[in-house]
Amino acid sequence: MFGLEGLAGDELRRLDMENVRVEDRRVLFSGDENALAKANICLRTAERIHIVLAQFEAKSFEELFQGVKNLPWEQWIGKEDAFPVKGYSLKSQLFSVSDCQAIIKKAVVDRLKSKYGISWFTETGPVHQIQFSIMNDVATLLIDTTGAGLHKRGYRLQSNFAPMKETLAAAICSLAKLKHYHTLYDPMCGSGTLPIEAALIARNIAPGVFRKEFAFEKGTDFDQEMFDEIYNDDSAEREFEHHIYGYDIDWKAVNIATNNVRAAGLSKDITIERRDMADFVEMEGPALMVTNPPYGERITTRGISQQLKNYADKYGLDKKVVYPHSFRHRYAKNFLEKYNDIALLADLMGHESIETTRIYLRRTASEQQALVDKIVTW
């Protein structure tokens, strides 16, 4: 998650990973299959683990094709597995993302054809997401080993509207310097994410033990015995000397949080009760208060549109151009003009595909006309 790179780097160092390097939007480290499994199971603040398969110069489609074809895709992708391709290109001669996707897909298919001796792939099996980036004519190929994001722990049976991500909750508890000897209070606990993540940290329980599967388990060279050893290793877990209390004024939230705590097997460490914040009593002993307070009623898209129309009336603006997406569009344009980082913008905008974000690279009709007016004297 953007902004948590430092915390993820600290976690990797505590896990004794090698060559840990923190960069914007990512943390790099070296390791074997054991390290890969351990990172997926144990990291609290990371969202996804990718393997960097290769980096090479690609100024032509032929260079891209040969670079991809030379990679050992058979180590990850089986005869019936699906292998979708997505990625982006910036400041490179190979600027068409759709063409790059097609070339990479063809290269992978050709490699697998030669290894498996078949000419058709049904792609009905497990999914192995291939990702690429081409920046300054250097192609980077990655394969996703996580599957569903690591914030999807598996213990949350129910949730309130717009719940906090588990990775963010873990980050907040880490930044609060929560220790196993602290009593923790969350007076506005909602669906219980903060108390649960706090208990997992206090007891040093790996967050990945609740998940049903990871993408790397479907790899052709997957070592089940190695995975089971890491997955079932509870030697680092410890007893929690104090307690965690979660309160909320809403009965529905209390019931949801109680069920989630029970699903996580943490009923001994966490107490959820209905209580008004106004009735909160003084904390006892070494204690922390960590909470995500409500910010009033959540406004809908329709509500935002109406507010903007009201402002347009008040200040004499054209209602046709004052709507939520116009502000989102202007933010994206300004961001690209200032930082020129389309990959980061895609993360901030919540786009699944960077192709969606590339729309903001296009100039509007008025912007094109302004450029023409600068050049041409009518």
Contact (Cβ atoms closer than 8 angstroms) between residue 298 and residue 161: yes
Q: By C-alpha distance, which of 143, 128, 168 is closest to 46?
A: 168
Answer whether residue 325 shows pLDDT above 70: yes
Task: Indicate whether 75 belongs to any domain.
Answer: yes
**Domain end position, chosen among 103, 122, 144:** 144
Task: Indicate whether 77 belongs to any domain.
Answer: yes
Number of domains in the chain: 2
Answer whether residue 57 shows pLDDT above 80: yes
The phi, psi pair for 301, rounded to 5°, reads -60, -40
Which whole-number Å values give the CA distances from 363 to 91, 320, 367, in the listed order?
17, 19, 6
Q: What's the angle, vertex CA 100, arms to CA 96 and CA 104, rounded to 5?
A: 175
d(Cα 190, Cα 159) in Å, to the nearest integer?
A: 8
Q: What's the angle, vertex CA 32, arms to CA 167 and CA 155, rounded to 5?
A: 30
* pLDDT on residue 100: 92
**Domain end position, chosen among 144, 159, 175:** 144
Three-class SS state of 221: coil
Task: Indicate whether 19 belongs to any domain.
Answer: yes
Structural domain boundaries enclosing 91: 5-144
Task: Indicate whether 272 belongs to any domain.
Answer: no
Task: Indicate whether 227 belongs to any domain.
Answer: no
**Domain end position, chosen among 109, 144, 179:** 144
d(Cα 298, Cα 300) in Å, to the nearest integer?
A: 7
CATH number for the domain including 79? Answer: 3.30.2130.30
The pTM of this model reads 0.78
Task: Indicate whether 242 belongs to any domain.
Answer: no
Task: Indicate whether 167 belongs to any domain.
Answer: no
Task: Indicate whether 243 belongs to any domain.
Answer: no
d(Cα 256, Cα 237) in Å, to the nearest integer?
A: 26
Report pLDDT digits (tens) over 199-228.
Answer: 999 999 999 999 989 999 988 788 899 999
Phi-psi region at 329: left, alpha or beta (left = phi > 0; alpha = psi -120 to 50): alpha
The predicted model gives 44-64 an average pLDDT of: 94
d(Cα 376, Cα 378) in Å, to the nearest integer?
A: 6
Report pLDDT digits (tens) over 131-175.
Answer: 998 988 999 999 999 988 899 998 988 877 778 899 999 999 999
d(Cα 333, Cα 336) in Å, to the nearest integer?
A: 5
- Contacts with 53 (C-beta within 8 Å, 6 or more apart), sequence order: 71, 141, 142, 143
d(Cα 11, Cα 296) in Å, to the nearest integer?
A: 34
